[in-house]
Amino acid sequence: MRRAYITSGWFILMSVLSLVTYAQDIQFSQYNAYPLYLNPALTGKIQQQRVALNSRSQWLNVDGAFSTAGFSYDYNLKNINSGLGIIVIQDETSGGGMATSTVGGLYSYHLRVGSSLGLNTGFKVSYNQQKLDPGKLTFTDQLLRNDGSSTYEIFDHLAHDYIDYSWGTVLYLADSSADKSYWLGMAFDHLTKPDVTFKGIDGKLPLKFTLHGGAQIRMSKNDIGFPENVISYFFQYKSQLKWDQAEFGASYIKRIPHKKRTMKDWKKTQAKFEPSYKQHKGYTTASSTPMPLVYAEGGLTYRGLPLFKKYRPGYSNHEAIIVLLGFNYYDVKVSYSYDLTISKLGQRNTAGVHEITMNYIFAAVYDADKRSKKKKAKKQKALFSGS
């Protein structure tokens, strides 16, 4: 959606830095692996704790290439059916000529409806700071003069900050008898349309709408109940002013044989209300079949909107084909994706997009039973030691 209509390095700079700044948001190819950015309702959708890391390098053959790094952490407060999280993102272009830093806090509430239905609702409040370094940029007047001197552009300020708000919801549905899970969510970003211009011109960040969802099917169980194969289907649609974009993808997971572990070990690694998670101790059941603990994943996604909208006659809406490779080992999953450009920008001109993500889900360190046993042991030790 963002950064899709630029044909050369200098045009990138003029487009991004026209400084009325009707810029679209950062785009992640592995949006399901960076859930807190996708939808605040996904906050805390794990058994206890999760850390997610993301690194994205876009269009390395283009002057002023985009570079993004992200971090998030969320925690499931299961005693009050809630989730808390924090997200940090650093986005740069033109070697730091323009940079945006974001720090946000998130909260979500998890509602369980019956034995197979879940509904999460969440919101995000973020602090954002944008910085501009004209010395690292090239503007239109410099290109016209072609004399290497500094720009005549005048800026009201070279840095400014703003507060932004987001809201989202996600619905989960599980068919335990068929080992199938479904989810559908939507999110709204920039609810207050904050001003993001560097000049004294009205430059509000437009509202962004996201619709996302998917399905997961587990097949060919082994003798201890783990599936040998898992197929997932997923989609995402985004709209912001007159720009919109869709992604449709699928992935295939193959279990890798490994040393067997108990169901208790498995429960520590599975996510609350994740399509793979079998709830316990009174929680609803999302699936009767758990995900494999060790597996390899391959996926393919198409990005574009060819059938529903034409920006202008003769303009292709095909944008990219995304190839995904991933590996999961118990609590840790690492994935790499590459975007092959199929738009008029051309693969040779952009060199595509590289993205790496890592998710680490912390095991449930303490539960109520463990705390109770630990306190009892301490009391017994104190009694016999005389202290």
In angstroms, the CA 186 to CA 170 distance is: 7
Distance, in Å, from the CA atom of 90 to the CA atom of 71, rounded to the nearest integer, reads 9
pLDDT at 160: 85
Q: Which of 41, 46, 37 is nearest to 122 (CA)?
A: 41
Of the given ranges (193-197, 365-369, 376-380), which has the lowest mean pLDDT? Answer: 365-369
Query: Tens digits of per-residue pLDDT, 302-334?
Result: 999 877 666 666 666 889 999 999 999 988 999
Q: State the pLDDT at residue 273.
A: 36
pLDDT bin (cut points 50, 70, 90) of residue 268 is low
Q: Is domain 9-385 in CATH 3.40.50.920, yes or no? A: no
- Phi, psi for 341 (deg, rounded to 5): -70, 125
Q: Phi then psi for 70, rounded to 5 degrees?
A: -135, 150
The string of pLDDT tens digits covering residues 42-76 is 999 988 899 999 999 988 877 777 899 999 999 99
Quote the pLDDT of residue 192.
95
The answer to whether the pTM exceeds 0.85 is no
**pLDDT score at 204:** 87
pLDDT confidence band for 134 (50 / 70 / 90): confident
Does position 84 have pLDDT exceeding 90, yes or no? Answer: yes
Between 244 and 386, residue with greater pLDDT: 244
Instruction: Give me the pLDDT at residue 145, please.
Output: 72
pLDDT higher than threshold 50 for residue 96: yes
27-36, 192-201, 286-295: range with highest mean pLDDT: 27-36
Task: Choose from 111-115, 163-167, 312-316 the range with maximum mean pLDDT.
Answer: 163-167
CA distances from 381 to 308, 373, 376, 377 (A): 71, 12, 9, 6
The encoded tokens of residue 301 equal 């996604």
- pLDDT at residue 217 above 70? yes
Give residue limits of the domains in the chain.
9-385
DSSP string over 138-178: --HHHHHH-S-PPP----S-SEEEEEEEEEEEEEEEEEGGG
pLDDT of residue 146: 72
Give the pLDDT score at 159: 83
Name the residue with higher pLDDT: 376 or 222.
222
Please determine, for residue 13, whether its predicted confidence score (pLDDT) is greater than 50. no
Question: CA Rg, the chain, in Å?
Answer: 24
Query: Is the confidence at residue 189, as pLDDT, over 90?
Result: yes
Specify the length of the chain in residues. Answer: 387
Q: Each residue of 119-130: pLDDT tens digit?
A: 999 999 999 999
- According to DSSP, the β-strands at 243-255 and 318-329 are unpaired
The 3-state DSSP class for residue 302 equals strand
**For the chain, how far is it from start to end, CA to CA, in angstroms?**
67
Backbone angles phi and psi of 109, in degrees to 5: -115, 135
Task: Output the CA torsion 320→335→223→220 (10° steps).
Answer: 0
- Catalogue the E-assigned strands of the chain: 49-58, 66-77, 82-93, 98-113, 117-132, 159-175, 180-189, 208-221, 227-240, 243-255, 294-304, 318-329, 332-341, 353-362
Higher pLDDT, 76 or 292: 76
Q: Across the chain, what does the average pLDDT equal? A: 79
Span 328-370, pLDDT tens digits: 998 899 999 999 999 888 888 888 899 999 999 876 544 444 5
pLDDT of 343 reads 86
